Structures are given as C-alpha cells and as structure tokens.
Amino acid sequence: MLRLAVPNKGALNDAAQTILKEAGYRPRSDSKELVVVDEANSCELFFLRPRDIAVYVGEGTLDAGITGRDMLADSGASVEEILTLGFGASTFRLAAKPGTMDSVKDLEGLRVATSYAGLLSRYLADTKVDARVIKLDGAVETAIRLGVADAIADVVQTGTTLRNVGLEVFGEPIMKSEAVLIKREGAEEGNGLTQLIRRLQGVLHARDFVMMDYDIRAERIEEAIALTPGMEGPTVSPLHREGWVAVRSMVRRKGHQQVMDQLWDIGARAILVTDIYACRI
C-alpha cells in the first residue's frame, strides 16, 4: 500500500487535496481527519504539517509526500523531488525597512528573523555573511517592528504581507519555491507511486491543455498542423464535404485564442475548444 503525506493545513492544503481528488484518490471527509485509508487505490493518505512532511519521507516511514521546495530545503532531509505540481509558487526573500539594506552583505553582524532557519543559515554561510538567525514560528514580518530583528527572510507571494507592515525586499531571491512531490533519496519507486505519478501527470496535462477541433480545406492541412501539432500528431478525418477534413488536436491552454485566430486566418472554420477532464499521455 502506498503511504502518502499531504499538507493538513496552510497554503498548500487546498490545492494538494484538489489535485489528489482529480487524480482519483479518496478525499478526506472533514478537516480533522488525519489518516484516510483509500482501499480502492491501495493508498493511505496521512495529513501532516507541510514542514514535517520532508522529515517523514526522508526517514522512509512514508513513501512520498507533497510539500514546498523551500520546506524540504529547510529540513535538510534526504529526499528528492519527483514532480513539480504547478501550485504553491512563491519566492523566499530577505526584507527590511525601505532604504536600509541593498544586499545580503549588509546583514553582517545583524539579526535576521525567519521560520526557515536551516535554509537561511545555509544561504548566509554560502554568501560568507556572519549574521545571527532568530528562529520564529510564523508572522516573522512583525519581528523588526518589535525590535527582535534587523531584517527578515520569509516566503513572498503577492507581497501584500510585506507591504502591510511597511517592509521591502532586498538582495537576490534566496530560492524559488513551488509544491513538489517528493520521495526518499534513492528509494525504489513502488507500483503505487508509479501510478500516483502517472495520474498526477495526467491531471497536470489536462489542466495545461485544451482539445481543439476544426474543419479546414485539405490543401491547407500542413499549415494547420504546423499550428496545432498535438502530442503525437493530430487526428485528421475526412469530412462529408468535398475537399475538407476535420482535425482534432491537443493545444496548450495558454495562447489557445491566438491559435484559433491563426487557424481562422488560414481558412479553418467550426473551431471548437473543450476542456480535457482527464488524460494519460
């Protein structure tokens, strides 16, 4: 049975549950349920704090887990990324009062508050800056105002939290993060995990692509195929109309309107776009 760790709360919780549900795994019935046994898929889902997930997977007690790249870097656990999941995108950055700092070098001898002490300490060591790391559990943006730190290092997504407390990012981004599927470094990928990966890839493809159908005169087919090459070549079928063919092809969702315009310009008609509900590529 596959043993999988899923974030039980926080920024990744909703999206992680949605992608697993779309991949056909049993959702939990309420937010207090900590373990879901999904007999039909031969899988146990353990709802854990995102910060702890890399630790469980690294120790080998769980086969795989969903967490943020920044959290697994912070944990130092022996885990590897198997798949990026297309949500939870954020950047891990330094911030301070506007106009006070320009680069990480300005932190020499100062205090930096963060809830990612492992990640920050490694970055300071790599950049050869001697600063004191103040480890806090969350809401680190307030630490400067309360006099506990001179700067902070935290997750930034929209930047709203920083703006609200009057802080500004400075220096290079420390890390770009997103939600990832992880397994223990070097561990064998069992059947359950292979199936999970294939299903998640299917969901990601179904989200990324649309299905496009259109009719076009047979002599323009090569131009049309250049615009909609599909995954392994589009399906071209005869149309019950002399000199015309029907084409069906997967097209990237992003930019599909431009593709429709270009198809129209070369004479395609009856261009239909539909969502893909599920797929295996």
Ligand X SMILES: Nc1ncnc2c1ncn2[C@@H]1O[C@H](COP(=O)(O)OP(=O)(O)OP(=O)(O)O)[C@@H](O)[C@H]1O
- Return residues touching ligand X (CB under 6 A): 9-12, 49-51, 68, 70-71, 88, 90, 138, 155, 157, 177
Residue 139 interacting partner from ligand PRP, ligand X, none (CB closer than 5 to 8 Å by kind): ligand PRP
SS3 label, residue 277: coil
β-partners of residue 211 are 250, 274
DSSP-based helix, strand, coil % in the chain, nearest 5:
30, 35, 35
The least distance separating ligand PRP from the CB of residue 173, rounded to whole angstroms, comes to 13
What is the pattern of x (binds ligand PRP, CB under 6 A) and - over residues 77-116?
Answer: ----------------------------------------
Residue 159 interacting partner from ligand PRP, ligand X, none (CB closer than 5 to 8 Å by kind): ligand PRP
Long-range own/partner contacts, residues 18-27 (CB < 8 A, 24 or more apart): 19/85, 19/87, 19/200, 19/203, 20/45, 22/203, 22/206, 22/278, 23/196, 23/199, 23/200, 23/202, 23/203, 24/199
SS3 label, residue 89: coil
The least distance separating ligand X from the CB of residue 137, rounded to whole angstroms, comes to 7
Residue 51 interacting partner from ligand PRP, ligand X, none (CB closer than 5 to 8 Å by kind): ligand X
- Nearest partner of 111 among 153, 167, 78, judged by Cα: 153
What is the pattern of x (binds ligand PRP, CB under 6 A) and - over residues 117-156?
Answer: ---------------------xx-x------------xxx
What is the pattern of x (binds ligand PRP, CB under 6 A) and - over residues 10-39?
Answer: xx----------------------------
Q: Would you say 119 or 206 has its CB closer to ligand X?
A: 119
Tell me the H-state helices in the chain: 13-22, 50-59, 69-75, 117-126, 160-164, 191-208, 221-227, 256-265
The least distance separating ligand PRP from the CB of residue 169, rounded to whole angstroms, comes to 10
